[in-house]
Structure 1
Amino acid sequence: MDLKNYELAVALRHALHRHPELSNHETWTKAYLINFLDKHTSLEIVDRGAWFYAKYSAAPGAHKIAFRADFDALPIDETISLPYGSEIPGVSHKCGHDGHSATLAAFALEVDQRGAENTIYFIFQHAEETGDGAKECAVLVTEEGIEEVYGYHNQPGYPVGEVIVNDGSFQCASKGMSLFFEGVPAHASDPDVGRNPALAIARLICALPSLYRAQEYTGLVLGTVVHVEIGAPAFGTAASTGVLRVTLRGEHEAEMNCFEARLEALASELASEYGLKYHAEFCDYFPECYNHPESAAKVRAVCAKLNISVHAFPHSKRGSEDFGYYTKATKGALFNIGAGDITPHHTVTYDFPDTIILTAVSVFEGLAGMEKD
């Protein structure tokens, strides 16, 4: 990678770090990235509202490959001292999306300057943290007939520059499920007159492990209670309403959906037993992040040429990633790059290590067919 391009990318990363923005509010970030590419490249830039993409056009009929980076931040205060620390109270880049976007911008500089045999799309995506962004951006795959899509995420706890990629399920599917129960209020001295959802919710919580540990599941399935609310702090009134909120998670999306159906069936059964009304609502859906084996193999082959160490996770990562929307639409793979011995994502002391930009750009160049002889 050209040294000047690397220096520009690091300066860009630090600028993005100073001005973090939460999911679906990344107006400054998007504009800054567009201005950077407009100033330093001759690429076609297409503004799609909350997100944008840049395009390098090769000869007609050329293979079409997309690369994606996210650019949203987190609602976490910047408490460590950095010369480029966040200037926005309560918001900071604690997942490294500033680094992902700086990497993709650096790759765009390289492609613009050196050219490529393939048509390359650079997708700068909003709202990864909420799962909204990729769902909106993935329409580009169909619109443009994109044949492959790749992206990466930095991974603390692994050696700097090491690549981690799996065939098949790479990160779990997940969704938030809220189970609402409504009974009949009564005086606390005469609770039998009413219908209290407390026992139904308690039994549902106790039954959760048996539902997600079913022997027929081939991969991880998990249900995590994140919130429970029953009644109100009024000691004269027996509870009549309640809600249980659970995060559903599955290595294989179909098995997560099976768990969801079992949970729904039991909730309905308990509601009927206790004379309650019941309904469920869903939010924060992330699809299974599935790596097509031929795309993951391509990542490994590129790393072999570059003498980059490659490993696989022993099982799918439990955390979710909305990149799965892209690989539902076309072939592709998400891979991780080791960020070294630093604190995990979403912690106050985390900061993206600039040096892995070099590794990421090299792998992107290889995937784009730009290997140097």
Structure 2
Amino acid sequence: MMLTNADVVDLTGFRRALHRRPEVSGAERETAAAVVDFLAPTAPDLVLTGLGGHGVALVFDGVADGPTVMIRSELDALPIHELTGLDYQSETPGTAHLCGHDGHSAILAGVARVLARRRPARGRAVLLFQPAEEDGSGAAAVLADPAFAAIAPDYAFALHNLPGLPLGKVVLQPGPANCASRGMKIVLTGKTSHAAQPDAGISPALAVARLIPGLMALGPGGELSDDFRLVTVTHARMGEPAFGITPGEAQVWATLRTVRDDRMAALVAGAEALARAEGQGGLKVSISYHDIFAACTNDPGATALMAAALQAEGIAQIAGTMPLRASEDFGRFGAGAKAAMFYLGAGEASPALHNPDYDFPDALIPLGTRAFLRVIRDLLG
């Protein structure tokens, strides 16, 4: 049993309704409520709300015992102003679904509609609408929520649309799928003074001048092998915009990126050593981390199951670049489940993700739904 034409029309309308009312990470209250309301007619056996914040999980039980299969989408949008000019463009200035999470959620809603008509024969299917993917906090919060333990999956699957790939074509392979990353914020605190007497203050100027190239040298990028390391300095600020004051405070922000989690630990240690070495002559150094993403690694068994489902549905797999340098919060679910994520082409001419003129292609809704339904049926009957 698959989606009807009427389903596709409804799901497209649902996707566009979500697109009009985007909410950023951690603030997805109305988006979560819209999901629950739209899918109420599917009558899940269990509905969990407030998971890890505003997460929602729908559970469809089979008749016999069996494994738990989870499919995940995301609820959050980005703090970027949309410039598509579409008639369903974001109605929230400065916030927009420019990564396609509205489309991913419409796909999951499609899965729910079909499961409502025919439950799994065994086990259970869990459809997770995850909050706060964009800042890397959502999956960890869902996993830490006591309510999640009752629906913890044996298998977990997800997709992400990917501009640059031909529309509807898939890239999938075992092993690393997305890099680990984290934002490192270094704050250097000294003492201001009159610019005519810099020796009376403690300026972080030379420390900043050394830190920026030093951090970048720790992560030069290059080939996406196990030893890949990339440090991108994303922001730097020092003192006040004035000519009469020697600066007494500065910040350097950088994103650290590796293919493997263990390599991230080594990169963090190197970056911290570099920063703390600047704590001389009264200059204080503090370090904090933000937007922390674990590496996303596809389990070989789960990948093989997803590949077989795609083949059975006639959804073509093509060669492509994996892992991606970009990070993905789905990786955390791989610690407790056999997990796999695939990339679904959004079109070679599509604007890139996070661009102000990007929009999710509605043609992918039935494709993504078919792929997930097939892997659920293969595992649960």
TM-score range, shorter chain: over 0.9
Give the counterpart of 1:353 among 350, 357, 361.
Answer: 361
Query: Residue 183 of structure 1: CA displacement?
Result: 2.3
Consecutive unaligned residues in structure 1, runs of 5 or more: none
Task: Report the 3-state secondary structure (helix = DSSP H, G, I; strand = E; otherwise coil) of the residue aligned with 1:310.
Answer: coil
Residues 8, 106 of structure 1: 8 Å contact kept: no
Deviation sequence 1:8-33 (CA, Å, 0-9, x none): 21121121112222222222211111
Query: Residue 214 of structure 1: CA displacement?
Result: 9.5
Q: Distance in 2 between matches of 1:362 and 1:20?
A: 26
Q: Which residue of 2 aligns with 1:51?
A: 55
Give the counterpart of 1:157 among 150, 155, 164.
Answer: 164
Give the counterpart of 1:247 among 249, 252, 255.
Answer: 255
Task: Report the 3-state secondary structure (helix = DSSP H, G, I; strand = E; otherwise coil) of the residue aligned with 1:136.
Answer: helix
Q: Which residue of 2 aligns with 1:7?
A: 9
Judging changes above 3 Å, is the alpha-carbon distance between structure 1 residues 231 and 297 closer, same or farther for their aligned structure 2 residues?
Answer: same
Task: Report the 3-state secondary structure (helix = DSSP H, G, I; strand = E; otherwise coil) of the residue aligned with 2:278.
Answer: helix
The range that moved more, 60-69 or 78-87, is: 78-87
Task: Report the 3-state secondary structure (helix = DSSP H, G, I; strand = E; otherwise coil) of the residue aligned with 1:270.
Answer: coil
Residues 142, 329 of structure 1: 8 Å contact kept: no
Query: Residue 42 of structure 1: CA displacement?
Result: 4.5
Q: Which residue of 2 aligns with 1:298?
A: 305
The answer to whether residue 123 in structure 2 is matched with residue 123 in structure 1 is: no
Query: Residue 137 of structure 1: CA displacement?
Result: 1.9
Q: CA RMSD in A?
A: 2.2
Deviation sequence 1:34-56 (CA, Å, 0-9, x none): 01111244442222251111100
Task: Report the 3-state secondary structure (helix = DSSP H, G, I; strand = E; otherwise coil) of the residue aligned with 2:279.
Answer: helix
Q: Distance in 2 between matches of 1:79 and 1:269?
A: 44
Q: Which residue of 2 aligns with 1:196?
A: 203
Residues 157, 338 of structure 1: 8 Å contact kept: yes
Judging changes above 3 Å, is the alpha-carbon distance between structure 1 residues 82 and 238 closer, same or farther for their aligned structure 2 residues?
Answer: closer
Judging changes above 3 Å, is the alpha-carbon distance between structure 1 residues 268 and 71 closer, same or farther for their aligned structure 2 residues?
Answer: same
Query: Residue 192 of structure 1: CA displacement?
Result: 2.7
Q: Distance in 1 between matches of 2:254 and 2:189?
A: 18
Q: Which amino acid aligns with 1:120?
A: A
Give the counterpart of 2:187 among 174, 180, 184.
Answer: 180
Give the counterpart of 1:256 among 250, 255, 264.
Answer: 264
Q: Which residue of 2 aligns with 1:369?
A: 377
Q: Which amino acid aligns with 1:2?
A: L
Percent identical pairs in the alignment equals 35
Deviation sequence 1:65-112 (CA, Å, 0-9, x none): 001111211223333332323222332211111111110011011111
Residues 141, 326 of structure 1: 8 Å contact kept: no
Q: Which amino acid aligns with 1:204?
A: L
Judging changes above 3 Å, is the alpha-carbon distance between structure 1 residues 70 and 256 closer, same or farther for their aligned structure 2 residues?
Answer: same
The answer to whether residue 178 in structure 2 is matched with residue 171 in structure 1 is: yes
Q: Which residue of 1 aligns with 2:29?
A: 27
Query: Residue 337 of structure 1: CA displacement?
Result: 0.6
The answer to whether residue 148 in structure 2 is matched with residue 137 in structure 1 is: no
Q: Distance in 2 between matches of 1:199 and 1:343?
A: 40
Query: Residue 344 of structure 1: CA displacement?
Result: 1.0
Q: Distance in 1 between matches of 2:139 and 2:61?
A: 23
Task: Report the 3-state secondary structure (helix = DSSP H, G, I; strand = E; otherwise coil) of the residue aligned with 2:215.
Answer: helix
Q: Distance in 2 between matches of 1:12 and 1:314?
A: 32
Q: Which residue of 2 aligns with 1:18?
A: 20
The range that moved more, 308-317 or 263-272, is: 308-317
Q: Which residue of 2 aligns with 1:238?
A: 246
Residues 116, 370 of structure 1: 8 Å contact kept: no
Q: Which residue of 1 aligns with 2:292?
A: 285
Q: Which residue of 1 aligns with 2:113?
A: 109
Q: Distance in 2 between matches of 1:195 and 1:73?
A: 42
Tell me the TM-score normalised to structure 1 length: 0.92
Judging changes above 3 Å, is the alpha-carbon distance between structure 1 residues 312 and 41 closer, same or farther for their aligned structure 2 residues?
Answer: farther
Q: Which amino acid aligns with 2:98?
A: K
Tell me the TM-score normalised to structure 2 length: 0.91
